[in-house]
Structure 1
Amino acid sequence: MSNIIEILPRMTDHKQEAAKAAMSIISAGQTIGLGGGKTIAYLAELLAEDPKLMQSLTLTSSSFETSVLLHAKGFRLVAPSFISRIDVYFDGCDVFDRQLNALKSGGGIHTMEKLLASAADRFILLGDAGKYQATLNPKFPVAIEFLPQALSIVSRRLGELFPGTRFIQRMSTEKIGAAISDNGNMLADLYFDVFPDPTELDIQVKMIPGVVEHSLFRGMAHQAVVSGEDGVKNIYPV
């Protein structure tokens, strides 16, 4: 029987590496906004390891899970409704393109995420390098938050504007009925065969009465910090 023990190489956690790189962007005394997801949780943990920096910061978040983590770590946490300006807002995404147009569809909290991103002097995307693609991938849907009373109107109008698309209302997995956003509205996913022009999509969907917000962040991000096999990269819109 062999006594040889094979030692496997430790896999790099690229989300964690991106979070480490983001630490250099944060300065004492700033107001920092955090979104949701694993990379953001890593960043919160790293900030908590520097008590002096942590105590100087004011934090706010668009995510309930992140807010719970920040509260547990003892950060100075302020509700978004009391924030008018943020120095830096960090968040992940499903995918982003060369212009840093990003899709943030998975969590269904894109309305609050967009509010905080718009209040930030700098909005920075964090994650692994696989999030970056030359053009937005139709594999990922555009999530739409809309008033419950507007379900049929929004569905019909989207079909007229973007023929051939699939409108799939989100349903709850924990109870019978529709998934409801943190704002008390309904959510749906819009799937495209070919992703439309981001500017056209952004404007046309927002103009539909009853639509509260959608998950395409067009022209909002100032920078992306991603980690991949060739290290950490800072990407800027072209």
Structure 2
Amino acid sequence: MANYKQDAAKACLQFLKPLQVIGLGAGATIAYLVDFIAGDVELANSITFVSSSFQTRLNLEQKGLKVKMASQLYAIDIYFDGCDQFDAELNALKSGGGIHTSEKILASTAKEFILIGDESKFVPDLDHTYPVVIEILPEALNIVTVKIEDDFPLATVNLRSGKEKDGAVISDNGNLLANVKFDELPDIAELNTYFKMMPGIVDHSLFYQMATKAVVAGEHGVRVITPQRF
């Protein structure tokens, strides 16, 4: 059975060069990419890696690769990450890991931000299948929740809770995470600004006009997609 995530990850090797600083997100496709890079020992040993993902950093360290924290770097050559959905403009939704604030810092620092995954992630327009995740300062939780539900009466805001601990999920930055589920996704340019401008929200999981390429694999092979922005 074809493994399209693995195919997409392998195709990303074409963008790598010795001595680069490479940022990596989280997830299965990124894990495959780490495996492929580690397989080229000479290349792997010349690259410096950075990631906001605990699991990705652990994987890199276990393979003996050079890892730095974001605070030690000034620039990144390429940032690779997966997502839940992305559209023709390469706007992306990432609702899974809850580390989008740190991932956006890496993505914004990179000369190139490349999305990778199987072709099912590519949709004509982002929709309400996945929630938009917001990171909220604890003291602003009620204010932010009421404001969003007043402005979007059909939306629901649900605080993330732990499956293996009692209470809310706390972000790596010590904040709360909440899923905002829309009945229909609002205009994403306006939504991006709305969340960015709301006091109490640190950041959100809509990556608006940040990616420079997407590498996807499917039944008809691998495609490199560039953003169609007008």
For normalisation by structure 2, the TM-score amounts to: 0.98
| Residue aligning to 1:71 | 61
Match of 1:37 among 19, 22, 27: 27
Contact preservation (8 Å) 1:86, 1:120: yes
Amino acid at match of 2:16: I
Once the two structures are TM-superposed, the CA of residue 57 in structure 1 deviates from its matched residue by 0.5
| Residue aligning to 1:219 | 209
Three-state SS of the structure 2 residue aligned to 1:52 is helix
Residues 1:149 and 2:139 aligned together? yes
| Residue aligning to 2:110 | 120
Amino acid at match of 1:229: E
Contact preservation (8 Å) 1:87, 1:122: yes
Residues 1:235 and 2:225 aligned together? yes
Contact preservation (8 Å) 1:128, 1:226: yes
Match of 2:192 among 202, 218, 228: 202
Computed over aligned residues only, the root mean square deviation of the Cα atoms, in angstroms, reads 0.7
Once the two structures are TM-superposed, the CA of residue 162 in structure 1 deviates from its matched residue by 2.1
Three-state SS of the structure 2 residue aligned to 1:219 is coil
Once the two structures are TM-superposed, the CA of residue 199 in structure 1 deviates from its matched residue by 0.7
Match of 1:25 among 4, 9, 15: 15
| Residue aligning to 1:174 | 164
Give per-residue Cα distances to partners, 1:111-147, cap 9 Å, x unaligned.
0110000000000000000000001120100000011
Give per-residue Cα distances to partners, 1:47-100, cap 9 Å, x unaligned.
111111011101000100000000011111101111221000000000001110
Runs of at least 5 residues in structure 1 that lack an aligned partner in the other structure? 1-10
Distance in 2 of aligned mates of 1:80 and 1:102:
22
Match of 1:139 among 129, 132, 150: 129
Match of 2:97 among 93, 104, 107: 107
How many residue pairs get aligned? The number is 228
| Residue aligning to 1:8 | none
Three-state SS of the structure 2 residue aligned to 1:77 is strand
Three-state SS of the structure 2 residue aligned to 1:107 is coil
Match of 1:159 among 149, 159, 164: 149
Give per-residue Cα distances to partners, 1:154-185, cap 9 Å, x unaligned.
10111122221011110111111111111110
Three-state SS of the structure 1 residue aligned to 2:67 is coil
Three-state SS of the structure 2 residue aligned to 1:143 is strand
Distance in 2 of aligned mates of 1:170 and 1:74:
34
Distance in 2 of aligned mates of 1:165 and 1:24:
42
Distance in 2 of aligned mates of 1:99 and 1:182:
29
Distance in 2 of aligned mates of 1:99 and 1:197:
13
Contact preservation (8 Å) 1:157, 1:208: no
Contact preservation (8 Å) 1:34, 1:40: yes
Distance in 2 of aligned mates of 1:226 and 1:104:
16
Contact preservation (8 Å) 1:158, 1:205: no
